Amino acid sequence: MKKQFSILMIAAILIILTFDLLAIPSFARKYSMTCKTCHSPFPRLKAYGEEFAGDGFVLKDQSAPRYFLETGDEELSLIRDVPLALRLEGYVVHSVKEKKSDFSSPFIFKVLSGGSLSKDVAYYFYYILENGETGKLEDAWFMLNNVFNSELDITFGQFQISDPLFKRELRLTRDDYLIYKTKIGNSKVNLAYDRGIMFSYSLPTNTDLFLQIVNGNGIGEGTNDIFDNDKYKNLFGRVSQEISESFRIGGFGYYGKEEDVFINDLWMGGLDLTFSTEKFEVNAQFVQRNDNNPLFNAIKKEVKTQGAFIELILTPNGDDSKWYAVSLFNWIESDLNYLNTKQLALNLGYLLRRNIRFTGEYSFNFNTKTGQSSIGFVTAF
């Protein structure tokens, strides 16, 4: 079995080496700059990348020549070429318990587009085919930046509720931030994707404020042109404070109702922190959640759930690191025992190019005593 697995690993590497090594994503093409300006390693964002995204994908200190088409109409903003980028991921996965290997490629394929539509107006979306399933839109939003010449931004559409906390799409591990995805009983509420509107505002004290109003039932299909399956809207609020260039703390609260014959009242609250240096970063999140009727029964049964994750990222040479290492520990404890999780992932990666990286990961679930290893590639161009 070990010999067969080794052959699969070699085959995966040979497949990886056939990809175009000179490809660069759309934002890098737009400004003729390296991906390292915003990412280290991609897709993980640096502070400059966070600022770039927050400014509607516009660099304040650099212009993009010939980005808009000259039409002679000053009231028309028409992008000369619609920016597109692709992301492709593939793996060879080995289940330790089942002693089984599998080619999981393509595991993820994304078509992304985003950019500035006009001064202080931006958009972003991507279409994803994941794990062999039919494709769908996940992120798809429109943003007004610096509304009323202030620090207020307004985002409308589909986004992840957890984006102001930690962005799931930018993590380096295959293992996810599990508490963000967790749904309790028959509840449709979690901290992943939803539809709504988000307001964000930055204070001179390096304090960031966020308010979201969302449907509260994810991004499934609508019925008769209606996406919300009940009459309620849910609220999310967050405060984030920069203590120093290296240290940030934050807290959030979520309150909502959902109806499925009977009503489930729920709330969430949590704390998070980030400590980062040039070569080392720690991200941590804690979430407490209470649902008073997540099974939607006539007789209510309250369910309490709490969860957390801690992520350690090592880049030995800072932005110039070819190698990086990540550990991610997830913990969930709930009155619904099937949700209980303790899981550790260890990931080692190598950047062949700025936009092509090899990755190897081992994940072990302490509850089920099962492990999984994988080796593969992630590329964007």
Average of pLDDT values for 144-160?
A: 94
Mean pLDDT score of the chain: 86
Judge contact between 277 and 271, C-beta under 8 A.
no
Count the neighbouring beta carbons within 10 Å of the beta carbon of residue 288.
Answer: 14
Cα–Cα distance for residue pair 260/266, rounded to 1 Å: 14
Average of pLDDT values for 289-296?
A: 97
Residues of the chain above pLDDT 70, percent: 82
Strands, E assignment, 75-206? 85-95, 100-118, 121-130, 136-147, 152-160, 193-203
Q: Is the pLDDT of residue 93 over 90?
A: yes
Q: How confident is the model at residue 7 (pLDDT cuts 50, 70, 90)?
A: very low
Q: Is the pLDDT of residue 276 over 90?
A: yes
Which has the minimum average pLDDT: 57-66, 238-247, 368-377? 57-66
Q: Is the pLDDT of residue 4 over 60?
A: no
Complete domains list, the chain, with CATH: 2-67+78-380 (2.40.160.10)
Q: Is the pLDDT of residue 2 over 50?
A: no
Q: Is the pLDDT of residue 290 over 70?
A: yes
Q: Is the pLDDT of residue 36 over 70?
A: no
pLDDT greater at residue 32 or residue 10: 32
Cα–Cα distance for residue pair 334/258, rounded to 1 Å: 20
Judge contact between 345 and 361, C-beta under 8 A.
yes
Q: How confident is the model at residue 15 (pLDDT cuts 50, 70, 90)?
A: very low
Average of pLDDT values for 298-316?
A: 96
Q: Is the pLDDT of residue 137 over 60?
A: yes
Which has the minimum average pLDDT: 104-108, 342-346, 367-371? 104-108
**Looking up tokens 């919300």, which residue turns up?**
228
Cα–Cα distance for residue pair 79/64, rounded to 1 Å: 11
Count the neighbouring beta carbons within 10 Å of the beta carbon of residue 14.
Answer: 9
Average of pLDDT values for 55-73?
A: 65
Judge contact between 192 and 181, C-beta under 8 A.
yes
Cα–Cα distance for residue pair 193/197, rounded to 1 Å: 12
Torsions phi, psi of 52, nearest 5?
-60, -45
pLDDT greater at residue 62 or residue 280: 280
Q: How confident is the model at residue 57 (pLDDT cuts 50, 70, 90)?
A: low
Average of pLDDT values for 86-98?
A: 89
pTM of the complete model = 0.84
Nearest to 176 by CA among 343, 379, 378, 372: 343
Q: Is the pLDDT of residue 1 over 70?
A: no
Average of pLDDT values for 71-84?
A: 77
Q: Is the pLDDT of residue 64 over 90?
A: no
Q: How confident is the model at residue 22 (pLDDT cuts 50, 70, 90)?
A: very low
Q: Is the pLDDT of residue 178 over 60?
A: yes
Average of pLDDT values for 287-293?
A: 98
